[in-house]
Amino acid sequence: MIEFVKGEISDLTPTSVVLETAGVGYFLNISVNTFSEIQHKDACRLYVHEAIREDAYVLFGFFSTEEREAFRKLISVSGVGANTARVILSSLTVPELESGILAENLAIFKNIKGIGTKTAQRIIVELKDKVAKGGLSGAEAASLLTAGNEVRSEALAALQMLGFPAAASGKAINTVLKNDPSLTVEQLIKAALKLL
């Protein structure tokens, strides 16, 4: 098993990177979130998930172990393949994904290309317990749980009705809740609006 690849970035696109290490170039499929973390670097270390099939040996690279663990949990869901999981992680950060699952927010998933109602429902049903017990990656789930799912989901729905994208709204709400998890819905919306 390859745990990570560390090397010079010899080729980079929003969906893939070639890392050169010890004279070997490793082609890794990446999410847009990972791309944004490494786009201005000459070298980096990416954590690897290997997908070995009959016809291909594919490597997926992640800037953090949290993102890799979230990816692994997503591909454990029936009907979610590696490319779909990568699209989800390109559209949502790990905290946004976790909070969407906890809030049972179908809309946040249905806005992602290739995700229909049934797939969104399966993701929520199959991963909700895992997120509630400690997160997809162990990151930030506790603070989101203490903030209360109802307050969070109401604030997210309100921001979406105001025309803000689900992903940006979720990110703003998470940032606010990290600083003060005891806010009311109104306070949360007002604070999140200042960040949008």
pLDDT of residue 114: 82
Residue 20's alpha-carbon distances to 26, 50, 62, 85, 117, in angstroms, are 6, 17, 16, 25, 40
Mean pLDDT over each residue of the chain, to the nearest integer: 86
60-70 pLDDT tens trace: 999 999 999 99
CA 110, 114, 120, 123 torsion-angle sign? negative
pLDDT of residue 141: 43
Residue 47 or residue 158, greater confidence: 47
Q: Can you read off the two tokens belonging to residue 136? A: 């997809």
Please tell me the total number of residues recorded for the chain in this structure. Answer: 196
0.85 cut: is pTM over it? no
Average pLDDT on 154-169 reads: 80
Span of 54-58, 111-115, 162-166 with lowest mean pLDDT: 162-166
Average pLDDT on 93-105 reads: 89
Check whether 123 has a pLDDT greater than 60. Answer: yes
pLDDT of residue 125: 93
CB 112 within 8 A of CB 105: no
**DSSP string covering 126-158, please?**
HHHHHHHHH-SSSSSHHHHHHH-HHHHHHHHHH
Band of pLDDT at residue 9, cut at 50, 70 and 90: very high
29-62 pLDDT tens trace: 999 999 999 999 999 999 999 998 889 899 999 9
Give the HSE-up count for residue 179: Cα atoms under 13 Å, Cβ half-sphere: 9
Domains and CATH numbers, the chain: 4-63 (2.40.50.140), 66-195 (1.10.150.20)
Phi–psi pair at 112, nearest 5 degrees: -90, 135
Residue the block writes with tokens 């040996």: 57
Residue the block writes with tokens 């105001």: 162
Nearest Cα residue to 33 out of 76, 64, 73, 77 = 64
Band of pLDDT at residue 135, cut at 50, 70 and 90: low
CB 166 within 8 A of CB 111: yes
CA distance 62 to 65: 7
